[in-house]
Chain A
Amino acid sequence: MIETVLVQYGEFAGRTQVLPLAPGGSLRFGRGAPGSPVEVALTDPAVPRLAGEIRATNDYWILSNYSRDKTYVVENPEGGGEHIKVAPRRLAAPIPFEISRVVLPSSGALVAFSVFAPMQTYADETPAGRGEQTLAAFTFDESAKYFLVLVALCEPRLRDESWMAIPTVERVVERLRPLADCADLTPTAVAFHIDYLARTKLRIRPEILHGRSGRSGRLAGKTAALVSLALRFNLIREDHLGLLPGRQRRPRNTQASGA
């Protein structure tokens, strides 16, 4: 079954769970109560018993706010402060972001969960006439942070520095930080993007993801699989390197630095 929307919750409770939705599928969220069952339970007392509903509608989703007086905010964690406010009693507000965080007013700690719409479509960059429409089998938002992370991971191989190891998460953070959008990028966020790319965007077979999780651990194995497949199938190419910040010359040769 084609799953166009994934709802991920429980990050803050330390038990992350993911519920996939097919087009037309829906789930309810809220505090829950006998007679008001919810699929996504949010325990904060300020959250209504039945707070709202998410419905996968094509490759995007719609949000209904069932509360009488609380505004929900849907943030795009990829964009610089991009967000949508969904007013009380608003039904079926369309949400355009690929990655969203739904934030609910709470009595204390942040109450939020994430919603992904990984099947959003982009046209081929080269118009190939008026034949049948064709989609890339995997489509990426080239302005998204997850895409920059993938380009940064592939960079050493693309530049034919094949002797170099695949960059570590810390190295990717360092590489992307000069970009205004990535000033606050953290290793945790990079690890999250790697997971999203491997599982959801590229749908890599689990045995490849977990096959070589030897001494360097699961993340390294996942990253290696991701880089290998992205390059093998030309999903990341030389022209994408232009998205990365310019590389500083390493002051290895002090004479050349012209001091």
Chain B
Amino acid sequence: MTHVQAGGRGLAIFTQNDGLTELAWAVPVPIGYRIGDWEVTAGIATGNWASVYAARRRTRGVPAEAALKFAATGTLTRRQIGPLRDMIQRELAVHHDADHSSRLIRCHEIHEVDDAARPELDGSVVLVLDRAERSLADLIADQGGAPIPEAATVIEQICEGLDHLHRKGWVHGDLKPANVLVMADGSVRLADFGLAAKIEGTHGFMPPLVSSDYVPPERWTERLGARGLPVRTSADIWALGVIAYELVTGRYPFPGAGVRTRAIAAAQYTAGSEPIQFPTELTPFWRSFLTDCLASTHAERARHDAASLLERVSAITSAPSARPPSPRLPAARSRAGRGWRRSAQSITPTSLSLAAAGVCGLPHAYHAEPGRPS
């Protein structure tokens, strides 16, 4: 499963400058670096434990382009690897169980870098993933606070992805706009399954590593057990509600300058001391949809699963008056040539135990534009 050629000798290490601080890439990979059939063409984004690069296939084949996610391993100590191994295992398990949906980013191949000449890369696990244009976070940012015209279609597709994932027995656990990727045809796919949890009965467990503006309010009072924090599908529904609110109104539902302040505003809303604010022009359909997704407790939210929410929003998008100018729902594509399933089976538990990937620390999208900082 390891195919690395030491291509690109002498090429500059790609660095990203966001104008404030030069970011250190978790896994610095030179432009032109070759792995298997792939050649790195540009950096896309980095998190704490993984970096994503654009790559093109060097021979004919489908897909011709991909996003390569390099998970840091070389510089980590044995103890640091533990939680990262847990995350890569979650991510691989979701791809294995559930990514044969056109609403989930697919993993085509897995490699492990074997390159003693580059100790910073050696041992990195590389996931070859669908290449996206950008993320929903970029789309929202570009909109500059205005509603997204195709909001209903995007929400419908997120619902499809969640419904599929939930039916397969998984909670995404880290749904947020940066993890919803926009493909070249304008459709969206869910990505980044490093915090996904397999549902056992009513809930799964996730490591207590990070939280964002998209975690449900009950996260702050959940108690830590030996396997982590409990997480239920209703957590994804809350995140869906926050994202949907942003798409249809152009702004975040809870006020505040910092992520903690917003979390507290959300908590005050759920405690009943502050009602959720809707713009006056928002239609009754969206008021009711958002109110149900953002129900303050797990029990109330659990009354509305991804399937029923999908049905509701589909009724809107299929109404002729609500259809966006150009149809943006592509037909599900052929799944031929997916070499990944074979690759996955060739990974033994032993080789996996050497693997480590940071997934949750990757708040970025896979951009198409070469070298564009996220």
Q: In the complex, what residues of A have CB within 8 A of residue B273's CB?
A: 24
Could you write out 27 A-B pairs with CB less than 8 Å apart?
A2-B217, A2-B220, A2-B221, A2-B263, A24-B268, A58-B261, A59-B264, A119-B220, A127-B21, A127-B23, A129-B363, A130-B18, A130-B374, A131-B45, A131-B47, A131-B137, A132-B177, A133-B258, A133-B259, A137-B208, A204-B225, A232-B82, A232-B83, A233-B208, A233-B209, A234-B83, A234-B209
Which A residues lie at the B interface, using CB under 8 A? Answer: 1-4, 22-24, 58-59, 119, 121, 124, 126-138, 158, 202-206, 208, 228-229, 231-234, 237-238
A115 to B207, CA, bound (A): 29
A-B residue pair count with CB separations less than 8 angstroms: 136
Beta-carbon contact of B260 and A119 below 8 Å: yes
A132 to B83, CA, bound (A): 22
User: Does residue B160 face the partner (Cβ distance < 8 Å to A)?
Assistant: no
Beta-carbon contact of A132 and B137 below 8 Å: yes
A2 to B261, CA, bound (A): 12
Beta-carbon contact of A237 and B137 below 8 Å: no
Q: 0/1 per residue, B128-160, Cβ < 8 Å to A? A: 000000000100000000000000000000000
Beta-carbon contact of A203 and B224 below 8 Å: yes
Beta-carbon contact of A129 and B210 below 8 Å: no
User: Does residue B34 face the partner (Cβ distance < 8 Å to A)?
Assistant: no
A182 to B214, CA, bound (A): 39
Q: Beyond A2-B267, A59-B260, A136-B209: 18 further Cβ-contacts under 8 Å? A: A1-B270, A2-B221, A22-B268, A24-B268, A59-B264, A131-B374, A132-B178, A133-B212, A133-B259, A134-B361, A135-B210, A135-B260, A136-B211, A137-B208, A204-B223, A204-B225, A228-B226, A234-B80
User: Does residue B302 face the partner (Cβ distance < 8 Å to A)?
Assistant: no
Q: 0/1 per residue, B82-110, Cβ < 8 Å to A? A: 11000000000000000000000000000
- A131: which of B219, B220, B258, B364 is its contact (CB, 8 Å)? B364
B209, chain A: closest CB distance, angstroms? 6
Determine the residue in chain B with the shortest Cβ distance to A199.
Answer: B223
A128 to B374, CA, bound (A): 10
Beta-carbon contact of B364 and A229 below 8 Å: no
Q: In the complex, what residues of B have CB within 8 A of residue A4's CB?
A: 264
Determine the residue in chain B with the shortest Cβ distance to A120.
Answer: B260
Beta-carbon contact of A137 and B210 below 8 Å: yes
Chain A: interface secondary structure? Answer: loop
Q: In the complex, what residues of B have CB within 8 A of residue A24's CB?
A: 268, 273
Beta-carbon contact of A205 and B258 below 8 Å: no
Q: In the complex, what residues of A have CB within 8 A of residue B263's CB?
A: 2, 135
- B267: which of A22, A134, A135 is its contact (CB, 8 Å)? A22
- A204: which of B220, B224, B261, B363 is its contact (CB, 8 Å)? B224
Q: In the complex, what residues of B have CB within 8 A of residue A130's CB?
A: 18, 374
Beta-carbon contact of A129 and B267 below 8 Å: no
Chain B contact-residue range equals 35 or more
A182 to B267, CA, bound (A): 37
Beta-carbon contact of B46 and A128 below 8 Å: yes
A58 to B262, CA, bound (A): 10
Beta-carbon contact of A132 and B176 below 8 Å: yes
Q: In the complex, what residues of A have CB within 8 A of residue B313's CB?
A: none
Q: In the complex, what residues of A have CB within 8 A of residue B271's CB?
A: 1, 22
Beta-carbon contact of A128 and B48 below 8 Å: yes
Instruction: Select the residue from B82, B177, B223 with max chain A CB neighbours within 10 A.
Output: B223
Known A-B contacts A127-B21, A203-B224, A205-B223; the reply to A234 vs B79 at CB < 8 A is yes
User: Does residue B326 face the partner (Cβ distance < 8 Å to A)?
Assistant: no
User: Does residue B37 face the partner (Cβ distance < 8 Å to A)?
Assistant: no
- A133: which of B16, B177, B213, B264 is its contact (CB, 8 Å)? B213
Beta-carbon contact of B264 and A23 below 8 Å: yes
Known A-B contacts A204-B224, A231-B79, A238-B79; the reply to A131 vs B48 at CB < 8 A is no
B258, chain A: closest CB distance, angstroms? 7
Known A-B contacts A3-B221, A233-B208; the reply to A132 vs B363 at CB < 8 A is yes
Instruction: Select the residue from A2, A4, A24, A131 with max chain B CB neighbours within 10 A.
Output: A131
Q: In the complex, what residues of A have CB within 8 A of residue B225's CB?
A: 204-205, 208
Beta-carbon contact of B79 and A131 below 8 Å: no
